[in-house]
Amino acid sequence: MCLQESLSNVSLYLMCLYLHFTHRYYVSSKTINKLIQVHDRIFCCIAGSLADAQAVTKAAKFQISFHSIQMESPPLVKAAASVLKELCYNNKEELQAGFITAGWDRKKGPQVYTVALGGMLLSQPFTIGGSGSTYIYGYADAKYKPDMSREECLQFATNALALAMGRDNVSGGVAHLVVITEEGVEHVVIPGDKLPKFHDE
């Protein structure tokens, strides 16, 4: 259904998402937004049942915003990921949604957390998810290196997305990337035909 990828870097963090939603063999939309902003410097990639994911992120966004106001400071990425994890774990019977939560906070800088379907929370330097991710585990493991620059990060993410979209029949459409730094948030949108080409014919 979609490929998500997040990388953590020295001073920035990058999320990229594949916009494609399918219902069995019917492509409902090629341009839906699967990168939800839950706070100023924290984004969530969603996967699984999009209805569940949207409901959970809506609840999480409210809780995180309230928490941030009570704390009188921006929330920690870990706190935001924990809120999502609590929602996923406590309602695991009803829900079918997984997330990649990532962002920047003053305490630990850029971070990436995976919240799996049953509610497991894991911190990683980078992570991939979604149906298309199975095709690029090798590529990601081989090509990732710590402390990449912003451009290297963007290139890595774009290449990975392009490769996955090329092989996964239920992934495609538009690639949506978000670059999060202390200074701000930048969106990069790459239509499918502008992605890098590889030898996957």
Q: For binding to other proteins (CB under 8 A), which residues are involved? A: 67, 70-71, 76, 78-79, 81-83, 85-86, 107, 121
Nearest to 178 by CA among 13, 30, 1, 19: 13
Dig out the tokens for 67 from the structure: 């928490």
Selection from 37, 38, 2, 39 nearest residue 17 by Cα = 2
CB of 150 to other proteins, least distance (A): 26
Burial bucket for residue 201 (CB in 10 Å: 0-12, 13-18, 19+): exposed
CB of 110 to other proteins, least distance (A): 16
CB nearer to other proteins: pick between 107 and 167:
107
Q: Tell me if residue 9 falls in helix, strand or coil.
A: coil
Cβ at position 163, least distance to other proteins in Å: 33
Q: Are 91 and 49 in contact (CB under 8 A)?
A: no
Minimum distance of other proteins from residue 109's CB (angstroms): 12
The token pair that represents 97 in the structure block = 């949604």
Q: For other proteins, which is the closer residue by CB, 18 or 104?
A: 104
- Residue type for position 129: G
Measured from the CB atom, the residue of 51 and 71 that comes closer to other proteins is: 71
Q: How far is the CB of 56 from other proteins (least distance, A)?
A: 15
Nearer to other proteins, 123 or 159 (CB): 123
Q: How far apart are CA 125 and CA 18, in angstroms?
A: 20
Cβ proximity to other proteins, 3 vs 64, nearer residue: 64
- For residue 141, the SS3 value is helix
